[in-house]
Each structure stands twice: as structure tokens, then as C-alpha cells.
Amino acid sequence: MKKYIFLILLVSILFKPAITYSQVDQKPNNVSVHDPSVIKVNKTYYVFGSHLAAAKSNDLINWIQISTAPTKGNKLVPNPTREFSEALKWAQTDTFWAPDIIKLNNKFYLYYCNCEGSSPRADIGIATSDKIEGPYHNQGMFLKSGMWDKASEDGTIYDATKHPNTVDPNLFFDHNSRLWMVYGSYSGGIFLLKMNSQTGKPEPGQGYGKKLLGGNHSRIEGPYIIYNPETEYYYLFLSYGGLSANGGYNIRVARSKKVTGPYYDNLGHNMINAHGSAEKFFDDKAIEPYGVKLLGNFQFYNKNKKAAGIGYVSPGHNSVYYDKEKDKYFIFFHTRFPGRGEYHELRVHQMFFNQQGWPVIAPHRYHGETIKKYSKADIVGQYAFINHGQKISSQIKNSSLIKLNSDGSITGSLNGSWQKTAQYGINLTIAGDNYNGILIKTWDSSLQKKVISFTAIAKSGNKAIWGSKLANN
């Protein structure tokens, strides 16, 4: 029998209780939800993640844990083993991986997935509920993978190098209100299926659907697609690397004018070519050049070169939400932290689109801030600077110190120039590379104050940079 070693660590099973802080010191209530998928119901935001974990919040700052593990008494599914016995048996597992949640036909549809873990033996199915917090009842599987030496969903013999691992579903509507599902992890890549909005299942005759990228076991997973009517682009978010603390997990994006692609990065690479070589497992070097890397391992340092406040390790598997009432985009993801092993928490950052129509992520987690006009005096000063680069690496990018001077020059660890554009736009030239981005005053948890920060994307590259202004400068 054909065998395939996946080597994904199911470290996210090791949940810890949510940490609760006093609101006096401005620290939020944190929760653990791996692979968070977001939905807003009335005034409340919900995230659903792996292992039937879930949490909710009214402000995206303070969170309440709803559930943490697929055990009896889980609030979403009171008896998961019995409710999903067929799916768990097929996938040869006792747990659940990254789900998605969407409202269809006045019901909540929970798209669950299960996977064996050391191979792409997996399934995707639907569970429904009249209430967002459940209980959810299984409506059955509709997509499977890992049927070794047997006919797969497209009628050909299953081949993990070209066929998908049927996990990580994301359901979304295109600009014509048609329903789609993008899915896949490692294995044969990321695929797209046209869905029936009445049944919630794929339209017949598609097999596994259209391949968008990946293959030959390249470490690409967690796809999520949104459409921005202002830029008229579909944005395909992805996670590269391995999810564990030493896996180099990072968030990337590509875009297309058509939901079915082709998707391109900022260097004009067609993402269909982002795949590993046939001779090598987990060929990270082959896929590193593809996709705009928005966020990876980093640690902000203060002026005394000491670790200060925010730092993430293996951030990834994101979802995105546009809040019409707030007129804000948010990106949701899980992350680990420097020196804290495999422990992970949910994070929410505000997200914007720069002048070139690429998404940029605020350097600090959301704390209720709203973008506005900033003066030159607001901007001038010393910054902790991060260049996220393009590599898939377990190395943590430590910030360096740069200064944005009143004459438009940049000095410090790197030299260059900067220019304020419009009300909150900024152009920067650093070490010979040109970047376009936005300015936003955000809450710095280490300084316990609001600071000006910038987030930008290379004008002709796949790199993102961050700057966070330091105190007393």
C-alpha cells in the first residue's frame, strides 16, 4: 500500500485555560482556538477552531471560551464520538481539524473535517444547528481523501502528490453571490469547488474541483478567500510551513480578478507554480518565492535591545472578516510565542489595503483603534523595525532600530527615506527597496500606551515591513 508520512504534529490538542486579566492594565481576556474561523451573529463575533474549540467576543478584545476539546459535554456537540462516528472511523482519528462556519438557509452550517494526521486520510462534512452555539447535528460527509490504491473523488486512483488532503474548508460567496469552497493542506495542494447554496454541498461532476496551487507535499494549507469590492480582487490567504513552534508557520496572500484564478503574487508569479519538487518532501525552498508574506516569526525589542511586548511564533491559519458597521477589516489567526513552547492563543489584528491594493496587517493586536489623519510631527521618531522577509524559517526576526527624521530621511540600523501620503498613507525606501503602506495609532502592550506604527508591502516584492514607534523620542 502506498504510504505517505505527513509529520504534522497535533500539538494544538494541548489546550490550556483562557487567561483572564484585569481591565485596569488594559490587557484583554485571551483564549485558545487553533485555526480560527470567524462569523458575526448580531453583535457577537464567534471563532470556531480545531478540536471543536470555540470562543466569542463583543469587542474583539475580551474573549470568552465556549469549548476546548472534542470530549463528551462539548457545548457545540455534546457527544462528538457518537455524532461523528462515521467520519472519525474513515479518517482513523478521534479529533477534528480546522472547520469553517457559515449561515445558509436560516441555519448555521459547520463544515468539519477529520484527518488521520500522518497521512492524508481525511474527510469534510456538514453539521447544522438552529443556534450559533449549537448543538450541531451531523448531516454527513461529502468529500474524502486517502483512499489508497482505490478510485478517488475524480475517478482516478488516489495519488497524494496530486490529489488534495480534504481538510481546511473555507466557504465564501463571490461578488455574484455564488457559493464556493476552497480547501486543502499539503499533499496535492489547494483546490476550489463550486457549491450549491441550498444543499451546502458541491455541485455534481467536479471531482476534487479546480487546483489553485501546491502539490508534491509542499507545506501550504489553511486557504481563505475574500473579495474586496473596492479593489475588485479576490484575495487568497494561505499558511506556509509547519504549525509547531519550530515549523516556521507564516501567513501569505495572492490575488486574482476571477474567483477561479489564476492567482498571482506581487512579483507576478502565477501561484499554480507554487509546489514542491517530485523528488523531495516538504520542499520549502521551492515555494518560498511565491506569495506575499504578511506575517511570520518576530519579536519587538525596545531601545535597550531587550525583548518588549509583542512577539509571535508560527502565526497562521487565518480567517478574515469585513465589518460593515465599523467599516474595518480584521484578520484572525492563532499564534505561539517566544519561549512559550506549543502554547497558543487567538489574535485579532486590524487589516488595511494599501495604494497598490494589497492587504497590510497592523503591527499590534486590535484594541478598538480607528485609522485617521496623522501629522508629520506624529510620525517623526524612533521605531522598532521588522522586515518579515520571504523565508519559511523557525528563526525569530528580532526588531532593529530606525529613526524617521523630519527631513524625510531614515537613519539607524538601516538607511533610506520616507514620505507621508494622503491622510494616513506612507511610502518608505529602506535598504534600496520601496514600500507602500499605511499609518495607524495602535495600543502597544509593552509600553502601555498608544503609538504610531506603520505597515507596508514592497511595491515590487513579496515582503512586508512593520514599524512601531518607541516611547520618549
Q: What is the CATH number of the domain that holds 434?
A: 2.40.128.10
* pLDDT confidence tier of residue 302, bands split at 50, 70 and 90: confident
pLDDT tier for residue 309 given thresholds of 50, 70 and 90: confident
Q: What is the pLDDT of residue 7?
A: 39
Task: Give the mean pLDDT of the chain.
Answer: 93
Looking at 303, 331, 361, which one is the last position of a domain? Answer: 361
What pLDDT is recorded for position 27? Answer: 65
Please report the pLDDT score of residue 1 as a whole number.
34
350 plus 404 within the same structural domain: no
Q: Are residues 119 and 204 in the same domain?
A: yes
Rounded mean pLDDT of 95-111?
A: 98
Binned at pLDDT 50, 70 and 90, residue 5 comes out as very low
Please give the share of the chain, as a percent, with pLDDT higher than 90. 89
pLDDT of residue 261 exceeding 90 = yes
Do residues 303 and 399 share a domain?
Answer: no
Query: Rounded mean pLDDT of 397-426?
Result: 96
What pTM value is reported for the model? 0.94
Residue 374 lies in a domain: no
Per-residue pLDDT tens over the stretch 452-465? 999 999 999 999 99
Q: Model confidence over 14-44: pLDDT tens digits?
A: 333 333 323 333 468 999 999 999 999 999 9
Say yes or no: 334 and 424 in one domain. no
Any residues with CB less than 8 A from the CB of 472 and at least 6 apart, and which? none
Mean pLDDT computed over 231-249 = 98
Neighbours of 188 (CB within 10 A): 26
User: How many other CB atoms are there within 10 angstroms of residue 98's CB atom?
Assistant: 29
- Residue 23 has what pLDDT? 31
Q: Are residues 230 and 275 in the same domain?
A: yes
Residues 295 and 391 in one domain: no
Tell whether the model's pLDDT for residue 200 goes beyond 80: yes
The reply to whether 110 and 257 lie within a common domain is: yes
The answer to whether position 366 is within a domain reads no
For the chain, the 3-state helix, strand and coil shares in percent, each to the nearest 5, are 5, 45, 50
Domain count, the chain: 2
Residue type, 19: I
Which residues belong to the active site? 35, 221
In this predicted structure, what is the pLDDT of residue 279? 81
pLDDT average, residue stretch 227-242: 98
Which pLDDT score is estimated for 472? 61
Distance between CA atoms of residues 444 and 468, nearest Å? 8
Domain end: 361, 394, 427, which one? 361
DSSP string, 225-276: EEEETTTTEEEEEEEESBSSTTTB-EEEEEEESSTT---B-TT--BGGG---
Where is 79: in which H helix or E strand? none
User: What domain range is 273 assigned to?
Assistant: 35-361
260 and 175 in a common domain:
yes
**Does some domain include residue 8?**
no
Establish if 137 belongs to a structural domain: yes
Give the Å distances, CA to CA, from 114 to 8, 98, 146, 167, 345.
14, 8, 12, 7, 22
Assess whether pLDDT exceeds 50 at residue 318: yes
Residue 23 domain flag: no
CATH of the domain at 318: 2.115.10.20
- Cβ atoms of 387 and 346 within 8 Å: the answer is no
139 and 248 inside one domain = yes
Is 149 in the same domain as 48?
yes
**Residue percentage of the chain with pLDDT more than 70:** 94
Q: Which tens digits make up the pLDDT trace of 85-98?
A: 999 999 999 999 99
Main-chain dihedrals φ then ψ at residue 459, nearest 5 degrees: -65, -30
